[in-house]
Structure 1
Amino acid sequence: MKKLVLTGAAGRLGSYLREPLSKMADELVSTDIAEDIGTLYPGESYMQADLASLEQISAVLEGADMVIHFGAIVDEAPFDEILGPNIIGAYNVWEAAHRHGVRRVVYASSVHAVGMYPSADCIGIDAPHRPDSFYGLAKCFAEDLGRLYWEKRGLESVHMRIFSCAKVVSTRSLATWLSYDDLIRLVTRAIDTPTTGFSIVYGISDNDRMPVNNAGASHLGYRPQDNAEQFAPEILAAAPPADPSDPAQMCIGGPFTTIELGESGLAKMTIVDDRKKL
């Protein structure tokens, strides 16, 4: 490919994607709202842009083969804060992609689009939306937007419902972990699969305790290699007793299922900021 675009390049997950993406095309254009992202990889350039501006996003996507869309507020927040970057921003990415003839959008969706399902249900990729937050609701919008643009305009998209892509620090993440290596494998398959149409896939590693079924996305060729069970002895030894009446422990959305709408879900979690540095 000649040109890939990565939104959300200044974020923690974006920091792990920049290098492998820079090797998949002649040119990688990384973008974010930040002024810069520091040292660039060979073949990578940076363009500052606001997802809420169709004009700015259109300029970034000109000439692109595919866009890997990770830019967003990555936590629950009041609806009016989510609206610009997460909802209007998604529309701007798809509309700009359509106008410029971009072939595919690879989208960082989230477990929070279906977060209210009990883990014991072991849902597949065809489960109806069941968001746990405004953040999850925005992911539902983008998934429906992707289906609409595929069925009406022929723009392919892969929606990766990402789980816990961070260091394993809790009993929940024994089930929901997505390693950084598996994240890269997932994004790579979403890009190099010849045809995807509109696809949904769970972004999760090959965990023994995995609470979802990815069989419906086998056409993407994503085969995770990592397993959080290696951390189980240490995590379980330090864990408090389980509470089966607590939705945060019983539903796949975790703490996002019990917070008030508009209040931070990440504040209830321990996320280690181990972003990759050059």
Structure 2
Amino acid sequence: MDTIVMTGAAGGVATMLRPLLRAHYDLVLSDRGAAPGDLAANERWTTADLTRPDELAPLMAGADGLIHLGGQSVEADWDTVNMANIQGYQNILEASRAAGVGRVIFASSNHACGFYPRTRRIGIDQAVRPDGFYGVSKAFGEALGSLYADKWGLRVMSIRIGNIAERPADHRRLSIWQHPEDLAQLIRIGLEHPEIHHAIVYGASHNERAWWDNGTALSLGYRPKHSAEDHADYAMAEQAKVGPEPIGDLFQGGTFCADGFDGDLERTLTARLPRT
């Protein structure tokens, strides 16, 4: 089987993905901390820091592909996001290029486009509208993946992940949710499809309330098996416990948009950005 490196392997998404992917690949798992106690026979652990290029070169040696889940996973100050998500991603892309790694899966995020109103349905051709420094780092990562595909021949899939869980946890997630099995399917397409150059796709299951046109993923053969609507009663009951958020409820990025908002709300809602 191909050898695939997975960064951020101690995180929640990686923990859900590991049993779904190790049947198809030998996994080299990496994070900054110690190895978990449940490694399978075809999983091995390498402790590495994304900000340390000297630790990434041996990590990528001999690998066929990379699933990059590592980095800062929520909004933070600029220095933290910059080092972990921008410099860190460039570091591991450069290590991948030097090692001859052919495939890269980049965990982008819906927060690269979070300031689009919930009334807009968007595809991958609209301009990015990040809702914080974290979203900026994901938009940057998509651009960096495009560069490494065009200039150095890597095959890169950037997945704008919505929310990965067994079921959607509230009203917003009925539009952006993705079951772990569907994410694993999308990752396998990115690692194996012969025509990938640099593809941007949305990490979402079959969601009737979706805000995103996921035509690119569908054209590559993605067929989600799970539907958010099957969990609608649960999600809405959970939403009732939270209550409304006057600004966040207007935008696709939710509370990321509301956090520290001090802009012109009407202008932000009605702005029509040019297509990329």
1:248 matches 2:248: yes
After TM superposition, the structure 1 = structure 2 runs for residues 150-165 of structure 1, keeping only pairs within 5 Å, are 150-165=149-164
Give the number of equivalent residue pairs. Answer: 259
Contact 2:20 2:181 in 1 (8 A): no
Write the distance in 2 (CA, Å) between the matches of 1:138 and 1:66: 22
- 1:267 equivalent in structure 2: none
Contact 2:189 2:221 in 1 (8 A): yes
Could you list the per-position Cα deviations for residues 53-110 of structure 1 after superposition, in whole angstroms to 9, with x for gaps in the alignment? 1111111001111000001111100011112211111001110111111101101100
Letter in 2 for 1:30: L
Aligned to 2:55: 56
Q: CA RMSD, aligned part only? A: 1.8
* CA contact 2:72–2:85 (8 Å) conserved in 1: yes
Separation (CA, whole Å) in 1 of partners of 2:144 and 2:17: 24
In 2, Cα distance between equivalents of 1:236 and 1:22: 34
Report deviation, 1:22. 2.0
User: What does the per-residue CA deviation read over 1:202-239, in whole Å, with 9 as the maximum and x for residues that have no partner?
Assistant: 00110110111011333321111111112223433564
Q: C-alpha separation between the residues in 1 aligned to 2:118 and 2:216?
A: 18
The answer as to whether partners of 1:52 and 1:85 remain within 8 angstroms in 2 is: yes
Instruction: Name the amino acid aligned to 1:230.
Output: D
Give the 5 Å matches for 1:164-175: 164-166=163-165, 167-175=167-175
Q: Which residue of 1 aligns with 2:36?
A: 37
Residue 5 of structure 1 is matched in structure 2 by: 5
**2:266 aligned residue:** none
Q: Equivalents in 2 of 1:172, 1:179: separation in Å?
A: 15
1:199-278 residue pairs with structure 2 within 5 A? Answer: 199-236=199-236, 239-240=239-240, 246-260=246-260
Q: Does 1:80 align with 2:71?
A: no
Note the C-alpha offset of 1:28. 1.5
- Quote the residue 1:99 is aligned against: 98
| d(CA) in 1 for partners of 2:239, 2:60 | 46
| 1:137 alignment partner in structure 2 | 136
Equivalent pairs: percent with the same residue?
37
Please list the CA deviations of residues 222-274 of structure 1 after superposition, one character each: whole Å capped at 9, or x if unmatched. 1111111122234335645986x93311211111111128xxxxxxxxxxxxx
Structure 1, gaps ≥5 residues long: 262-278
The answer (yes or no) to whether the contact 2:5–2:30 under 8 Å persists in 1 is yes
Secondary structure at the residue paired with 1:121?
Answer: coil
- Structure 2 equivalent of residue 179 of structure 1: 179
Q: Helix, strand or coil: the match of 2:135? A: helix
Contact 1:107 1:160 in 2 (8 A): yes
C-alpha spacing 1:224/1:83, structure 2 compared with 1 (3 Å): same
Contact 1:4 1:21 in 2 (8 A): no
In terms of mean alpha carbon deviation, does 49-58 or 185-194 score higher?
Answer: 185-194
TM-score normalised by structure 1 residue count: 0.88
Q: How many angstroms does 1:21 deviate by?
A: 2.5
- Give the letter aligned to residue 156 of structure 1: R
The two structures have a TM-score, normalised by structure 2, of: 0.88
Stretch of structure 1 that moved more, 160-169 or 73-82: 160-169
CA distance in structure 2 between the partners assigned to 1:242 and 1:182 by the alignment:
29
Q: Name the amino acid aligned to 1:112.
A: H
Residue 36 of structure 2: SS of its match in structure 1?
Answer: coil
